[in-house]
Amino acid sequence: MSSRLSKALYATEDAKFVIRDDFDHHESIAPNEMLIETRYSGVNPADTKHPTVLGIRPTVIGYDFAGRVLKAPPESEFKEGDVVAGYTPSGMGRPVKYGAHQSLLAAPCDMAFKIPSNLPEAHAAALTVVVMTAADVVHNLFKFPMPTNPGDYTSPILIWGASSAVGLSALQLARASGCKNIFITASPARHDMFKSLGATHTFDYSSATVVEEIQAAVEALGKGSITHALDAAGTVGEPSSADLLAQSVSESTVLSSVLLRPDRRFQMPVALTKDVWRIHPPGAPGPIVIPARPADHWKAWSALQWAIANYGTTFKLPSVSVLDVTAEEALAELTGVENGKRGFGKIVFQHPLK
């Protein structure tokens, strides 16, 4: 890298997204952290939603990364030159050094991994947040077995919005955990792909009778009611994806949604459960503390390690687009991802941003 300073995508105190080029993190690395030259940063809806919806600002935005280690603690498993990926901490007061959408970043050593040969580096930059979120659903909230010790679960489960990266990851983790009857909603054009990844019953989410179709298929299957259901689409409006999902299942179904829902039956998974962090949604009287669930974190991390080891065979992201863009173009892409208009697949930015 020719300069210690480079372009960064930044959320201001008043939740505006701008470009900064005045950050230098060489001297701000903690003893348990690595300094990393970013080669790719993964895009997630959280990149822009966390500053605006959860009050996590001001900060450099972005969580997922892949890059080259410039400096690592002597006692760590990492060394200079290693090619690594992972994600970075969240919460109010998040230091700018943790933002992934910049060319130099800091990452705690226990939130990173060495990229193996079976995992393309750009794909590694798109993996951690979505797999950790999906693993929190499948293995923590739903309590299905780990992929390394699968069970034999024949009762149906439902994933609404399998085309989302979290839904796609949850589908593959559920299959690996031993779920035999996985119902999903998605665009009909992708139904065959989802069947190849483990879905057994597919439905068009846009069908006017989709709720009735799901209920009829459950009855015809004869394996009992849907026991667990994930709203991975996270749409709002009337009806929302969570509304349609709730209408499709029974009162006893364990429910989860990627958005915080007014219906208290829905549990919201998070990608980061290792540490305590704080949020301040608009209208809340004060900050809200998200408690740590360290045991759950390491269970999800183990599921991530399984996905990494089996990437390209029993786990994959079918569509990852690498964009070599200007910082201004990157901000426009983030807006498209947040409002759902970017389409299927994951996006990663190539660094340095122009």
Give the percent of the chain with pLDDT over 90: 90
List pLDDT tens digits, range 326-344.
Answer: 999 999 999 878 666 566 8
Q: How many angstroms from the chain centroid is the CA of residue 193?
A: 20
Is the pLDDT at 1 greater than 80, yes or no? no
Q: pLDDT digits over 128-150, tens only?
A: 999 999 999 999 999 999 999 99
Whether the per-residue pLDDT at 296 is higher than 90: the answer is yes
Contact of 102 with 67, CB cutoff 8 Å: no
pLDDT per residue as tens digits for the range 44-81: 999 999 999 999 999 999 999 999 999 999 999 999 99
Output the pTM of the full model: 0.96
Position 4 confidence tier, pLDDT thresholds 50, 70, 90:
low
Looking up tokens 């798109």 gives 126
Mean pLDDT over each residue of the chain, to the nearest integer: 95
Contact 150, 338 (CB under 8 A): no
Query: Helices (DSSP H) in the chain: which residue ranges?
Result: 46-53, 121-124, 128-135, 165-177, 191-196, 210-221, 241-248, 294-309, 327-338
Domains of the chain: 8-127+317-350 (3.90.180.10), 130-267 (3.40.50.720)
What single-letter DSSP state applies at residue 136? I
